[in-house]
Chains A and B, each alone.
Chain A
């Protein structure tokens, strides 16, 4: 069963901020929120991750609500190259001390309009 819920698609105008929502109401205390994106016919690319606090890097910002039941990925100035499927993933990644991979949901297809 999917741990996250995302809208299947979104549009955003080039140059504007793209805000991608994700619901993860059953998240547990040791689970992180990860965001990846996949540009057509390429491998997924890591964007950002967080546990409780908001995070920012050179690609994006991640805003996690205080109850951790939802989050928003913000691309501050979207370009045409940001058109991709964006995956929000909740996982502890290292359950049992080993690597167990990430489970991808259906994601949001973000289309940046010129």
Chain B
């Protein structure tokens, strides 16, 4: 199984809603990532988890709250978002540490629309 599965594929939410994006992988990877991608722009790194601990937060607003409940799951909790947060949210995973290929495996993304 070389897949990263993201759910839901599409999400529409109001600015007062609370919702979550979910990401799952069963490749034994111990590093997981959230990226945000606006239309016609490259993906931008948001968070990195390494061995279930948050290792990088790229100054992301607190209305985005990541969670890594175990080595296979990564969540992104959303609260009080703004319309400008509408984007494709991509999850990825990889082996951390030296000696591995460095390949990131990406999911298909969750397309979020904030009304």
Interface residues of A (CB under 8 A from B): 32, 34, 36, 38, 41-46, 49, 87, 91, 93-94, 97-107
Contacts and interface: CB of A to CB of B under 8 A. Distances in A.
A93 B53 CA distance: 17
Interface of B: 4, 31, 33, 35, 42-45, 48, 50, 55-56, 88, 90, 92, 94-98, 101-109
Contacts of B4: 43
Nearest to B91: A43
Contacts of B94: 99
Contacts of A102: 45, 104
Given A44-B90, A101-B92, A101-B104, 4 more contacts: A36-B104, A43-B4, A98-B96, A102-B45
Nearest to A93: B102
Contacts of A44: 43, 90, 92, 104, 106
Nearest to B93: A99
B98 A94 contact: yes
A43 B9 CA distance: 12
Contact of A42 (B45, B96, B108): B108
